[in-house]
Every structure is written in C-alpha cells, then in structure tokens.
Structure 1
Amino acid sequence: MAEVTQLIHQYLRHNKKFPLVFCPGCGHGIVLGSLVRGVHALGLDKDDVVVVAGIGCSGRIAAYVDFNTVHATHGRALTIATGIKMANPELTVIAVMGDGDAFSIGGNHLIHAARRNIGVTALVLNNFIYGMTGGQCSSTTPEGAYSHTSPMGQLEAAFDIVELTRAAGAAGVSRGTVFHVKALDGLVADALTRPGFNLVEALTPCFTQYGRGNGFKNAVEMFKWLKERAVPLEAYEKLEDKSGRIPIGTFVRRDVPGLEARYAAMREKLRERKGGAA
C-alpha cells in the first residue's frame, strides 16, 4: 500500500485541495487514479504532459495533477488542447471533460476534433448529468431519467458517446467504468500511446445529483449497477439478449497520423518547393 501511495503522490500537487473535493461515492477520484497510473506506466515525464480540463466536477482534476495544466472555460477544453498540440506536437495532451462539457456545450468542438484526428487524448467522465452546475440533464442523460430540468423524465434520446465519436472519425474509441479499475487503467494508457484523436469514456456514478433521483439508495448500489450492466465487448457480442447491457472495451483502434503530423508533413513539402526556405 505504501508503494502505491508513493506512486500516486509523485504525480499530485501538494496543495490545500485535499481531501478530494468530490462527493462521497463519486467515481471521479478513481478516474484521477487511472490517469496517473496510465502516465506512470508509460514512463512519461511530467513536464511533457499537459492536462486541459473543462468546467464541472471533472474539471477539478486539473488542480490535483502535477503536470502542465489549464482550466478551460465551459465546453472549450478541446479547442485549447488542439492549439497546444499544434504548437508543440511533442507534448502528450489530455483533455479531461464531463459528459455535459464534452458532448453538450462542447459537442461541436468534439466532433471536429475527432474529424480532424488531432493527436489529443479525450478522457470523458460520463455520469449522465450536469453534476456541479445543478443537476440538469445532459446529452447523455438516459431517456426517461429524472433530473432537475426533467422532473417528469427526460424526453430526449441520449447520445451514445462511443458511436458518435466513432462516426466522427476518431482513431481510437474506448469505454470503461470506475468499477472495472484495472481495465480502465489499461484503456487510458493505451489511448496515450496512440496517434491521432483517442477518446476514453469512463462511466462514473454521481449519487448526489443523479443517483438519488433515479432509484438508487446509495452510491454502492450505483457501483453494483455498473458491475452488473457493463460487459466486455467480446462477451457482449455473443449475448442473445443485449438489453440493459453496456459494452466496455476498445471499439476503434486505427493507426492513422494525427492532424499535427499531417500539418508537419505539409510544411516540409512547402519547404522543399521553396528550396529549403522555412
């Protein structure tokens, strides 16, 4: 246990924000651990890692990690991450966002980041709700679910993050849960090694704003729900009855160069045409 604690602490800022600001039972702290362990497993230098976080509960992660960090405005994490990656392609750039931040307010930026295939890893913490800003429904709130803005049940269909990102052209798309921690660690580490735009969706409970309004007695029940509903992709494909089940694992894994690499190649061609001039 001491070894694990030392591993985690070398990547965290020693500030006054501990203990974690997240509510009891929230899975965001587990995702923070997966991010740290992914960076550690790859042996990345902290000075070569940039975390851009949006607004919301997930945005607090930027305050804890001892990397280069930016706390962006709501829905704009990927725009800033894109600029950083284009300016310095050697950096490992990670955009940490909630479901509302990434797919509601920032949805347009996300689909175009995937379309461009910019070399950024998007870590989306999906708790099906706007957690910090008041418990409003988001674009991933399940149809029929209750929130402060859908007291009679959500009337709109929810986005499937995996399918939307796959359709937009991302090089890598994965989904994990905070119950399946080791698997989530692996998904994060793998995404960080891949070229192009890679998205990892992490299903994480929000008992405070979502769970207690949707029939869960406590946060433990929400973790049990993830355990029972989430199925590894290979097993999911073999199920005759897939209703109520959520596939987890890697859905897209393509080796295609990112926008920053294609841009560098274009610049090199222009340089050659001009006889070596910049």
Structure 2
Amino acid sequence: MSIDFKGRVAIVTGAGGGLGKQHALALAARGAKVVVNDLGGDVHGVGGSVSAAQAVVDEIRAAGGEAIVNGASVTDFAAVQAMVQQTMDTWGRVDILVNNAGILRDKSFAKMDLADFRLVVDVHLMGAVHCSKAVWPIMQAQNYGRIVMTTSSSGLYGNFGQANYGAAKMALAGLMQTLSIEGEKNNIRVNCLAPTAATRMTEGLMPEAVLKALEPQAVVPAMLVMASEDAPNRTIICAGAGSFEVAHITLTQGVHLGLTPDTPERLAAALAQVTDRQGETVPLSGAAQGTLEVGKAMVAHGG
C-alpha cells in the first residue's frame, strides 16, 4: 500500500528547518499542498524572518510541488487563524496539521526563570492548541482530519534541565488523548510523534557519530503514517535512527484497601503490589481508572 497525499492540504509549523522542514518536503513529495509555517526565530524563540520558510517553499516548488509560506507565531491565536484562513483561501481545505514548532530554554529547575518556563509552555502547548483549535471546525465540517502533535521522551520520561520542555511535551500527550476521543466521530485522528533527531535544538548535546545516525529524515516515516488516510488514532509513536516504537500510559491492576485509619500504612506496605505491572492495561479513556476502582470496591463489599 502506497501512502500518498494527492488532493490533501497540510500545515506544518516550525517548518523552516530541522524536522519540520523534512516533514514539509516529505508531504509535498507525496502530493500534498503544504503551508510552510515558521516564525524564523532561533532555537530560543528570539528573532523572526520568513526567509528559511521561503527557502523550503522554493525547494518544494522547484521539485514540482505546491507550497505557500507563512510567518505566524503559533503563540498568537489571531495570526494562526489568519494562517488557516490563508490556507482556505488558497486551497479550500485543511486535511493535515503537523504541530512541530518549538523552542528550548534549558536550565535546571532551581535556576530557571518562570518567564522561560511560561514561554516554552506557550510555544509548545498553547501553540498546538491554537493551531488545532483553528483547524478543528474545518476538519469537523469536511469529516476528515489528521493532527500530529510533537511530544518528546523528555516529557514522557523526563530529562535533566528540561522541566519546562518536558512539562509542555507531556501536556501535548494529554491534549492528544482527549482530542482523539472527541474527533473520532468526524474522522479526525490525533496522534503524537516522539522524535529523536539531530536538529538545531540538539546540536552540542550528542557526539557527532550519534548526530549522524539521528538525521531528521529517519523520523519522517512515522509522521507520514500518522498523517495518512489509514492513520492510527490515539497513538504515541517514538522514532529515531530508523527505529520505531510505541509509548503507552498504562494502569496497573492495583489493590483495593478500603478506607480505614491505617489505610496509609497498609498502602505503604502494599506498594510493591500496587506498582506490579503484571496485567496492566492501556485504558481507552480516563473513565477506565474510575471503573477499575469502583469495580474493586464493589467486589470487596460483595456488590
């Protein structure tokens, strides 16, 4: 089965370089019309120019594809709405949104300014919220949409010096969980990509040989699958160096202890059983936790 995007329109944020650029080029190469969005700032979110994004548009057009440039900051909802309107005016639909834009303001939590925490959350989380909110009614009306959130192992598993980045990236997984449920009836599928790729944001963090193996192009196939007509839904695909995995947020079977004055002590004593991963599940929604807990309570009380 060949994955192609003929007749599809895609918006890729942060597409002036790195992973976003590769996403835009790959979508265009397979037939999508692409909005190449990039504020043009540095990795810290400073500055702004559409020159990098325009270069990507020029490359797509030189290869025979269709693309337009957009310099909106994803932190500005009005500008994002204008970008989506520009897309609709140009091509009349939006099928794919790849929320890729991001910045870094790395420091240990003790040394981190709250302004740097807020800005990183604003770009990664609120940027994805703004873009998703702007395309959502369009995707609902056309009964088709594919949204890819860019999460990270730093959010899923933590990373020293990235409390702001990790919090924002884990929040995107939570956003995906709910949007995938709400969008299902309108054939809007929402997934997360957790990339390991060498970009401007990883320079200086890894040895040269490792950086070479982690070329951004090796992550792109996961995005293409999540943007395709046969995309999964509510899936976190991890990708790097040509390898692909899926991350799950799971729920252990746990134990029912009831509520008595010594429940805290009994819980402390039973933690090994509570954390035992044998028989753990991947809940279909947040309600599954309550269902499990109430079910245990009913059994314990003979209900």
Q: Same fold (TM over 0.5)?
A: no
Q: TM-score, normalised by structure 1?
A: 0.41
Question: TM-score, normalising length from structure 2?
Answer: 0.39
The structure with higher relative contact order (CA 8 Å, sep 6+) is 1
Task: Flag the structure with larger Rg.
Answer: 2
